[in-house]
Chains A and B, each alone.
Chain A
Amino acid sequence: MSDFMSLRFLDRFEKGFNKVGIEYPLLRHILKIKLTMDSRRIPTVYSQQKVDESKDKNHFLRSLWIYALYGLAVVPFLFFADQYFFQMSIIFGVLMFILMTSMISDFSAVLLDIRDRAIIGPKPINKRTLSAAKMIHVSIYMFFLTTATVAVPLVVSLFSMGIGFFLLFLLEVILLVMLILVLTACIYIFILRFFDGERLKNMINYIQILLTIGIFIGYQVVIRSFEFIAMEINFTPAWWQLLTPPVWFGALHEVILQGERSIFVIILAVMAILIPILMMILYVRLMPTFEHQLQKLSHTEVGVKKRQAKWKKTFVKWISPNKEERSVYYFARSMMKSEREFKLKVYPSLGFAIVVPFIFMFSMSQASSFDDLRDGNSYYFIYFSLLVIPTIFSMVKYSSGYKGSWIYEVASIQHRSSIYSGTLKAGLVTLFFPVFFIQCIVFLWLFSYQIFVDLLVVLMSSIIYSTASLKVLSNRAFPFSESFSLAQHKESGKVFGLILVIVAFYGLHSVSSLFPNGTYVYAVILFISMIVTWKMTFRK
């Protein structure tokens, strides 16, 4: 076992930990083991590919470049006019969004892990130490993730804005991370207080969806705080700005570097410093309660047999006439609906997929009035909902009960391809289509029936796209046959590439619309290629 840099760094605070009732040697001991485990890929039960066991690698750390890429996106704002307030509010809006969403989808699993209770719980360790270990475990990853995201903007700010700006920016990032960590944990504490058992597990997913939507809307709100009047950007105070952390950080910058002295802005600036610190203190107090409530996650309730509507059965029979494929379909559907970790990772992006097209449509389209919008071609924004497809199919091969995958080998399945096609159909029907059809209804209402063919084109594109995503991302692994464990990050490169494919679909679609009847011709071509791709991919 190698010694970890992060632990050597922590050693400096040993006295501080001891002071607040945390047994540092034990804390370090637990963290060391956790980090060792993270650096290992848990071998799959029946992996067809050769696994390189020679070196311990942390897939999470190897995937950080994607966050550096996100970080690049905020750099332009650093040069945007000479308005610290506006710039920093936007930058923190974006950062908060990136960090909070990854915190929720990637680290909820760590925060809500109950295995520790069974293994470490019976040992002589006080609860505070155990919860602190958990918190620091997450923080170490948050640190890397944050560093990867903000490194480039920070360095750029050092050279373009000077040392003062840089230091303040750094301090604010630290406060922001504290705020995010505690906020996430507090939300969980809050839900765990009032709900238990299965209900709670479902709740967490809905909360995640809501949070994702909330953060996104919040981002809009931040932008609306500033009025663009002839290249001048003016801040208009309003009470709800007290609830938007990015604005606090913007205000802090304004107060310290620009000497802004209006009371309201000073209040916002003080909040930027005070709230994260207060919440951290609150969290330390609540930690034992949190751990105690986690116990509820392990309770099981007696399930109720769910009756399936007849039309649903008929529908599934129709889309999946093959019996073998159909049973995989039902299996995959139940897994997607009940596997907690899968839901933790996928459902937030479903919520995202619902709102993103609309938000972009209203904020990015050039239409000045509602009628203009309806006559325009902003319906192409529906392509954004396809973003959820790579997420679904990159996750579908993981399961916390991955060891159960021996069943694939034991059961005499005639065509392996039906395992994949069944999973694909289940993923589309249970996860993607509900989101997509809701959007179609709203879009049809907005843009009238004339876009019907266009929506059909998007639908067929999405099916082709899903087939490709599953093919690219499955790596020949069976669905639900590998362990989670931060492993999904190794796919971020592929996912990124797949996102570019959406752009290609959009491009072809919009080019085809330039010709008379071009969309119809394109639709026919897509229909044929959909069938060809399907047959090729799922050859018996």
Chain B
Amino acid sequence: MDRKEVIRLEGLTKSYGGEDVLKSINLTVYQGQIVGYIGPNGAGKSTTVKMMLGLVEGYSGSISVFGTDIQDQDHLYKRRIGYVPENAEIYDSLTASEYLAFVAGLYGIDEEEALDKARKLMSQFDIDQVIYSRLSSFSKGMKQKVLIISSLLHNPDLLFLDEPLSGLDANSMLVVKEILSQLAAQGKTIFYSSHIMDIVEKISHRIVLISGGNVVADGTFEELREQNKQGSLEDIFNDLTGFHQHKQIASEFVAIVQGVSS
């Protein structure tokens, strides 16, 4: 089968203050894939995504998106990308409708059309009653829903989702998971990072684990399970990142809380 390349990272290296955060990452993502990009805190997951969006400069190696190196194309490639940032960064003095109209405008979509679409999407998430309220009054989950909608208004071909499910309740999570797999079935590519292992395990076509600046695992969940002889993705994650002492840490922690010297 002829698969179209959407992302290609070659020898991607990034250092902050003399320390390599990413050490020569090679990764190719094909159209229609859902890629779960996981790794411990500070492993450089968000940095990778920001680099592909041209937000972080000063790296070595090459990044190609939609078949062309991002250094060789102008900013318009971003029109085909949707992005949900990690810390729910948002202009929260705006109302939901203002924010969504604003984002749509940045993608060159007509305001009327965007608002109509936004209203429909919000009602699917059951938050259409607050469309004219300020985002500052929204709960974390509601803000996350607005961000997800804002990343999809322009019907992008590639989605970068950084912790897309944080703050969502179990039912909404179910909806978002289903949305992602249907989008992928229609040929959209989804690249997301998350710390919730059972979700990554269930929805990803492919799991990429980075640790210490290197890709330490890459494949379907079944492949990873075979290679590592572990039951769940959580176990694989602990195993590959070399983390085994959780019980010991926990008991010491509790001892400190109670003021017992160990």
Contact = CB atoms under 8 A, between A and B. Distances in A.
A121 B54 CA distance: 8
A383 B168 CA distance: 57
A416 interface: no
A118 B91 CA distance: 11
Query: Which 4 A-B pairs have CB atoms at the shortest separation, nearest pair first?
Result: A124-B78, A123-B106, A122-B83, A29-B105
Nearest to B80: A124
Given A1-B98, A33-B102, A122 B91 contact: no
B149 to A, nearest CB: 15
Contacts of B76: 124
Interface string A455-471: 00000000000000000
11 contacts: A26-B106, A29-B106, A33-B91, A33-B94, A43-B134, A43-B136, A122-B85, A126-B75, A292-B57, A295-B57, A299-B16
Interface string B46-78: 000000011111000000000000000011111
B107 A124 contact: yes
A347 B197 CA distance: 47
B79 A124 contact: yes
Contacts of B134: 40, 43
A490 interface: no
Contact of A119 (B91, B136, B160): B91
Contacts of A117: 55
Given A26-B106, A125-B106, A118 B93 contact: no
A121 B79 CA distance: 12
B17 interface: yes
Contacts of A123: 78, 103, 106-107
Contacts of A115: 89, 91
B238 to A, nearest CB: 26
Nearest to A302: B17
Contacts of B103: 123
B174 interface: no
A46 to B, nearest CB: 13
Nearest to B90: A119
Q: How many of chain B's residues touch chain A, expressed as a range?
A: 20 to 34
Interface string A220-242: 00000000000000000000000
Nearest to A126: B75
B199 to A, nearest CB: 23
B74 A126 contact: yes
Interface string B247-258: 000000000000
Contacts of A301: 17
A37 B75 contact: no
Contacts of B78: 122-125
Interface string A102-132: 0000000000000101111111111100000
A125 B103 CA distance: 11
Contacts of A37: 91, 93-94
B131 to A, nearest CB: 14
B209 interface: no
A123 B89 CA distance: 14
A35 to B, nearest CB: 12
A115 B91 CA distance: 9
Interface string A391-429: 000000000000000000000000000000000000000
B81 interface: yes
Contacts of B57: 292, 295
Interface of A: 1, 26, 29-30, 33, 36-37, 40, 42-43, 115, 117-127, 197, 292, 295, 299, 301, 485
Nearest to A41: B93
Contacts of B90: 119
A127 B136 CA distance: 28
A40 B134 CA distance: 10
Contact of A118 (B85, B105, B136): B85
Interface string B7-38: 00000000011000000000000000000000
Contacts of A1: 98
A26 B53 CA distance: 19
Interface string B75-116: 111110101010101111110001000110111100000000
A126 B108 CA distance: 13
Contacts of A43: 134, 136-137
A118 B136 CA distance: 18
Given A43-B136, A124-B78, A299-B16, A26 B105 contact: yes
A7 B106 CA distance: 17
B98 A36 contact: yes
B75 A124 contact: yes
Interface string B163-182: 00000000000000000000
A36 B107 contact: no
B93 A125 contact: no
B83 A125 contact: no
B81 to A, nearest CB: 7
Nearest to B111: A29
A33, A120, A292 pick with most chain B CB within 10 angstroms? A33
A434 to B, nearest CB: 32
A123 B91 CA distance: 15
Contacts of A124: 75-79, 106-108
B53 A121 contact: yes
B55 A29 contact: no
Nearest to A127: B75
B132 to A, nearest CB: 12
B56 A122 contact: no
Given A33-B102, A122-B53, A123-B78, 7 more contacts: A26-B106, A33-B94, A36-B98, A118-B85, A122-B55, A125-B78, A295-B56
A251 to B, nearest CB: 44
B93 A29 contact: no
A483 to B, nearest CB: 9
A29 B98 CA distance: 11
A36 B76 CA distance: 27
A338 to B, nearest CB: 20
A445 B163 CA distance: 63
Contacts of B98: 1, 33, 36
A54 B216 CA distance: 55
A129 B79 CA distance: 16
Contact of A120 (B16, B94, B106, B136): B106
Contacts of B93: 37, 40, 42, 485
A29 B83 CA distance: 20
